[in-house]
Amino acid sequence: MSNVKLNNVQKAAVESFGKPVLIFAGAGSGKTRVLTHKIAYLIKNKLVDAENILALTFTNKAAEEMRQRVHKIIKTKSTLVTMGTFHSVCAKMLRSEIHNLGYTSEFSIFDVQDQTSLFKVLLEPMDFPKNYITPKDLRFKISYFKNRLINPGEAKSKASIIIDKHYAELYEKYQIALKENNAVDFDDLLLLPLQIFEKFPKVLESYQEKWKYILVDEYQDTNKPQFMLVKNLAKSHQQICVVGDDDQSIYGWRGADISNILDFEKTFKNSEIFKLETNYRSTSYILESAYSVVKNNHNRASKELVANNGGGEKLGLMQTNDEMEESDAVISALQKEIKLEKRNFSDFAVLYRTNSQSRAIEDAFRRSGIPYNIIGGVRFYERKEIKDLIGYLSLILNPKDTISLRRVVNFPPRGIGLKTVDKCVIEAEKRNVEMIEVLNSPENMGIRGKQADALDKFYNIISKYNDLLPKLNAGELVRALIEEAGIKKYYQESTSPEESERYENVLEFIKSVDDFMKRNPDGGLSQFIEEVSLLTDLDQWNDQNNRVTMMTVHASKGLEFPVVFLTGLEDGLFPLYRSLDSNETLEEERRLFYVGVTRAMHKVYLMYANNRRRMGSDDLYGIVSRFIGEIPEDNLEKISFTSALTRKVIGGKAGKHTKTAVSRTVVLFDDFQVGDYVEHAIFGIGKVMALSGQGENQRVGIEFKDGLKKKLVVKFANLKKVDSPD
């Protein structure tokens, strides 16, 4: 096998054999290349037979990529290597061995919905107060126990308060119920092999003999069960190679334990350590800046990446007044990059700390006609909690909308099941009236008690707010609705982290209504819903393959882009307020920042706002993230940004708890006609094919070169009329 593609350290790591191997692989240092070459080296040199090699990853995509790369290097026997995720390998193992624990090999693997259904059955006879323990709370808690190898008995003995005793009791009942159903959950796929290994040592010995060499990718992301699996399997032969980067350990909140990689030498004696410190992705400025931040962590291995690609550009530092201007600044910088550097949309990634930040950026992209993809989540206005709110508003605006009625009649949960809805449908058809009209007479359908009261209350809410439409502006109506309909109470009473994030999005939705009212002082609720619908429809015009990528920093791990925008860099947002309580959580936030910056190949834009409204609150005055203060000033280029809004600072210095007054400049807009030729900063010259409205509210449908079609809002698109190119 030729090693011409490997540098000296990579080659040494590949050829190391006979001792446990730890490879610290910094961002962009070629860890996948090393892993695949090592597998090929073991087979090619007959050190280990292909069928005796186990390679563990965290995603199916990573496993498949590794398999393809190995096959390219050594075509014969590569398919005999066991490659897969921890969960897939363990599931296969359990099909052969789970009979030792009293299950059959046909066991079911319960997903989240299956778990939730079972939790509801278990909770029903407990007679707890409403929302005392929800199925989602219980799923989160039990997963927490399992990721830390805490069995039901231990959970019971450690419980010191009443609610923890209830969690432990339900955990025990849950495990019994799973077994009765011949089922396991996702966490059990890792736990049950450990139980088998402990109770049946001969089974463990058989797998130690089968897998004589073990490789683990992204070792810094392993939790306690994964660590114990690897430790057990490698215990007899100590032939193990792990690859990871402690500086990219960012999943502590879901059980990952950074000590697994940092204490590798203690666990596996006489290990060889290799540090891949040549980065083939990013420029010197990017790497030096990222390192200057992460080196402030105390709990890390000593290493420093060196760029193979040279100096590059300084990191752009952009200060804006608020999140709306931040979004405009992203577009402005993106347009400049496209024009000057001839980049494509797919060259850009916009990263943020929390999903709720995506709304303002997404709205700006839509208004500007810029195509985008959201990774790791659905579009803001398509998220369940937002669709529920829009469902309420649509029904208030149009009581004939039975689709929206069906969606929200039992949200928040008010005991109105599908059978009750079916009765309403039949009664409406019988009386030849709209479905909404039968809700205030449940007795006619034989519905009584709590269900009747719930239907009547729901009808009164919709009727009341329909009457209030001319009296309240959109923002006032939405705020009042979420209170009276019980939406706010529903989310606030839940202790589930998932529901907490949903509520954060609800509050962000309120802010989107406020933003709309600022742009359209005379606009009402119907106009807002229309705009949301129109903006959503714009996605159908976009190129499927050439899009800006939007995602959380967590979701970006393992990816790379020529240009990265890292947004929301204020203390309290990045790092999050709750991370400031301990050094451990703050260090994980710092590693997360490191991951975000090192996704970039050529250019990084660091963005922060003086004022940012989060979660529907009044203005929060932003203090620039401490992480920016840890970057040498010489590595930063301050970039000024002037938005379409003229913002006058009142007293003090920017970024120092400064209030801003906002006044709009008067801009004259051309009224375009079908057949006009216009020029767009990104898309070039195109022909107006359709339009609606006038002045700044005019919307135009334009066909650009190569048949590219866009729907644009004139006041945001910065279009100018030009002569026909013919």
Active-site amino acid positions? 31-32, 217-218, 248, 599
List, in sequence order, every residue forming a beta bridge with 274; answer none if it has no partner: 23
What angle, rounded to 10 degrees, do the helices at 497-519 and 384-397 form? Answer: 50
List, in sequence order, every residue forming a beta bridge with 278; answer none if it has no partner: 306
Separation between Cα atoms, residue 564 and residue 450, nearest integer Å? 54
Kindly list the distances between the CA atom of residue 700 and the CA atoms of 66, 679, 687, 713, in Å, as whole numbers in the listed order.
47, 13, 10, 7
Residues 615 and 508 sit within 8 Å (Cβ to Cβ): yes
Kindly list the distances between the CA atom of residue 307 and the CA atoms of 35, 401, 598, 628, in Å, as whole numbers in the listed order.
21, 59, 11, 21
Cis peptide before 412 (omega within 30 of 0): yes
Separation between Cα atoms, residue 500 and residue 484, nearest integer Å? 19
**Helices and strands, counts by H and E, the chain:** 28, 26
Handedness of CA 576, 581, 584, 586 (dihedral sign): positive
What angle, rounded to 10 degrees, do the helices at 188-199 and 224-234 form? Answer: 40
Cis peptide before 575 (omega within 30 of 0): yes
Q: How many residues does the chain have?
A: 726
User: Which among 282, 262, 240, 208 is positioned nearest to 28, based on CA atoms?
Assistant: 282
List, in sequence order, every residue forming a beta bridge with 711; answer none if it has no partner: 701
Separation between Cα atoms, residue 585 and residue 596, nearest integer Å? 17
Separation between Cα atoms, residue 372 and residue 345, nearest integer Å? 8
SS3 of residue 152 by DSSP: helix
User: Which among 335, 286, 277, 343 is positioned nearest to 312, based on CA atoms?
Assistant: 286
Kindly list the distances between the CA atom of residue 309 and the CA atoms of 122, 287, 578, 638, in Å, as whole numbers in the listed order.
58, 11, 37, 23
Distance of CA 72 to the CA centre of its chain: 33
Which pair of structure tokens corresponds to residue 127? 């007679």
DSSP state letters, 552-620: EHHHHTT--EEEEEE---BTBBTTBGGGGG-HHHHHHHHHHHHHHHTTEEEEEEEEEESEE--TT-SPE
Q: Enumerate the H helices of 151-306 as residue ranges.
A: 152-158, 162-180, 188-199, 201-210, 224-234, 259-262, 264-267, 284-294
Residues 176 and 207 sit within 8 Å (Cβ to Cβ): no
Distance of CA 652 to the CA centre of its chain: 37
Give the residue carrying structure tokens 């069928």.
51
Residues 46 and 29 sit within 8 Å (Cβ to Cβ): no
Distance of CA 484 to the CA centre of its chain: 31
User: Which among 723, 684, 715, 726 is positioned nearest to 702, based on CA atoms?
Assistant: 684
Q: Enumerate the H helices of 283-357 as residue ranges.
A: 284-294, 323-341
DSSP state letters, 658-698: --EEEEEPP---PPP-TT-EEEETTTEEEEEEEEES-GGG-
